[in-house]
Structure 1
Amino acid sequence: MTTLLDRVRRYGDLHADNAGIAATPIRGLGTVRATAPSGLVHAISQPLVCLVLQGAKQVIMGAQSFDFAAGDSLLITADVPTVSQVTRASAAEPYLSLVLILDPVLISDLMVEMKAAPLADCAAVRVEPTDAEVADAADRLMRLLDRPASVPVLQAQLLREMHYWLLAGRHGAAIRRLGLPEGPARRIARAVAKLRADFAEPLPVGELAALAGMSPSSFHQHFKAVTSLSPLQFQKQLRLIEARRLMTAEAAAPAEAAFAVGYESVSQFTREYGRLFGLPPARDARALRRWAAA
């Protein structure tokens, strides 16, 4: 009998890129594989759920550390900075996971139908055992990929079902924060989307506050409460993470990467890069390329 693990393994083997990530034709759904323990990966994650099917991983957010393995689900309910590392993986038994970007509009609709109380657990990152109903819905989503013609017809109802079981299960209380249309998480998310799209441009604080429907002072307060960063820190991390990708994946020189992501001073870029990643840009990029080639 083919299991969810088998389906994710097969899809990842066929479609994973150099980073081990394989997007699927299903909206927001992808797989991750790693054949060896990884280095530290810095990211500002979108709200998502990650079902680990094989191997183990660690995610750090601020002072909190989360270790999880096969049978666990990681939930992230805000755009927060994380540092992650695959801790158990091999060629024979790779790390394998299924990741779904959560849909706040779908969550809002389901909360109304479920008459779910609009109370939310404020923890932005948490780990719980994967509910059987969530795993079953995920398996049926992956089965659609074997019949591509079925994806546009059936994906919406199966995504809805998976979100339903997530809301009804162990992660439900935390996910509700995403379903409040005028809650801080959703309002800040509008500003975050603008920052993600235009991170290389000057920071328009007034425009971001207006997008969130807040005064500048209230916006700063709520932005940091939701993301753990100020808007300026958030933009800076987006820039540095993208610069790191340009240097490692596209072999860009440090100065070229700095200007591409919006820095006007290479020396400032070098200082801030070293503070985030622990090494100067050129040395860090060489180390990452050596690790990827090993």
Structure 2
Amino acid sequence: MTHTLLQAVRRYVETYADPAGVAQTPIPGLTTIRSVTPSGLLHAISQPLVCLVLQGSKQVAMGTQSFSFGAGDSLLITADVPTVSQITSASADTPYLSLVLELDPAVIADLAMQMKEEATIADGTPVRVEPTDAEVADAALRLMRLLDRPASIPVLHAQLVRELHYWLLEGKHGAAIRRLGWPDGHARRVGRAVALLRAEFARPLLVDRLAATAGMSPSSFHHHFRAVTSLSPMQFQKQLRLIEARRLMMSEGRTASSAAFAVGYESVPQFTREYGRMFGLPPGKDMEAVRNWASAAA
């Protein structure tokens, strides 16, 4: 089963991948990824997702925790949290290949209600790695097979995505995933504020507005936001700005000042200081290091 899924993902991503090795599929939230070389460090604030690694290996760090995983493993992220990831094993003959599905809280909530599972409290770790369950791989394979018949996607994809969520809920980390679906749970409330931050990160956002979006008092919001994401709201916004600025410089060739203003900074020196603290180098030297790495990997 895993080998068949590997071949399906390989065929799709080799046909449709962009220059970064990412191929978005017509199925919402489903992405395939390929890399023929180990990667540099990638900073992101990840959305809740499951990543099935089919070939190669990867490492993901969140705070002081680090997770290594390879073919046959699944990475599960159950909250919007800052991560630093790196593909550690990949080559032209044996590329890194993975399949990523964003988790849908509405689907989780509906399934949890139908499954009538008792609401248990999971531990607070939002990043987990476990071997991929056979049922999850089977549902993922059937999703990939829909891509060979585009007319089937609007009719069949929703039920297969729902089935894949079901098997994740039935698995080892069902309690952690189920928490995403609690309509009045802290994770769901914080998620509403996170969505606003993602949409308007370049604008000044008052904590009172974010708290109101989450349906909490400002003090309660601060506490629960940090508990879910490991960051304060303003730290979260700052990281979103810096990650987007780095993307603009890497992908679009923007200057540091242009990228800084585009993401909401009013002071280029402040941007440079905060960029260096997050990525380890000031913008100019970081872009030079990225170009050198890309040249060496080519």
Q: TM-score range by the shorter chain?
A: over 0.9
Instruction: Please give the alpha-carbon distance, in whole angstroms, between the structure 1 residues aligned to 2:121 and 2:272.
Output: 40
For 1:264-283, what aligned pairs fall within 5 Å after superposition? 264-283=266-285
Cα offset, 1:292, TM superposition: 2.8
- SS at the partner of 1:149? helix
Paired residues, number: 294
Equivalent residue runs for 1:82-161 within 5 Å: 82-121=83-122, 122-161=124-163
1:240 aligns with 2:256: no
CA deviations on 1:23-67 (whole Å, 9 max, x unpaired) are 100011001111111110000000000000000000000000000
Equivalents in 2 of 1:289, 1:239: separation in Å? 22
1:45-60 equivalence runs, <5 A = 45-60=46-61
- In structure 2, stretches of 5+ residues that fail to align are none
Task: Indicate conservation of the 8 Å contact 1:120/1:176, yes or no.
Answer: no
Q: How does 1:170-189 map to 2 (within 5 A)?
A: 170-189=172-191
CA distance in 2 between partners of 1:289 and 1:147 (Å): 39
Deviation at residue 118 of structure 1 after TM alignment: 1.3
| TM-score normalised by L of structure 1 | 0.98
What secondary structure does 1:3 align onto? Answer: helix
* 1:169 corresponding residue in structure 2: 171
Indicate the larger mover: 6-15 or 136-145.
Answer: 6-15
Q: Which residue pairs with 2:223 in the alignment?
A: 221
Distance in structure 1 (CA, Å) of the matches to 2:85 and 2:19:
17
Q: Compare 14-23 and 273-282 and name the one that shifted more.
A: 14-23
Alignment match, 2:210: 208
Aligned mates of 2:18, 2:59 — CA distance in 1: 21
Structure 1 CA distance for aligned equivalents of residues 172 and 81 of structure 2? 21
Structure 1: which amino acid aligns with 2:240? L
Partner of 1:285 in structure 2? 287
* CA deviation profile, 1:86-120 (whole Å, cap 9, x unmatched): 00000100000000000000000000111112113
Distance, in Å, in 2 between the alignment partners of 1:174 and 1:290 is 40
Q: Is the 1:243–1:258 contact (alpha carbons within 8 Å) kept by the matching residues of 2?
A: yes
* Secondary structure class of the residue paired with 1:27: coil
SS at match of 2:240: helix
- Structure 1 moving runs of 4+ over 3 Å: none
CA-atom RMSD, angstroms? Answer: 1.1
Amino acid at match of 2:160: L
Q: Secondary structure at the match of 2:100?
A: strand
Q: Which amino acid aligns with 1:28?
A: G
After superposing the two structures, state which structure 1 stretch, 13-22 or 144-153, moved more.
13-22
Q: Is the 8 A contact 1:120 1:175 kept in 2?
A: no
After superposition, the C-alpha distances for 1:147-178 in whole angstroms (9 at most, x for unaligned) are 00000000011011100011011221221111
Instruction: Tell me what 1:23 maps to.
Output: 24
Paired residue secondary structure (1:181): coil
One-letter amino acid of the counterpart of residue 265, structure 1: S
- Choose which of 195, 201, 205 in structure 2 pairs with 1:199: 201
Say whether the 8 Å CA contact 1:39–1:85 is kept in structure 2: yes
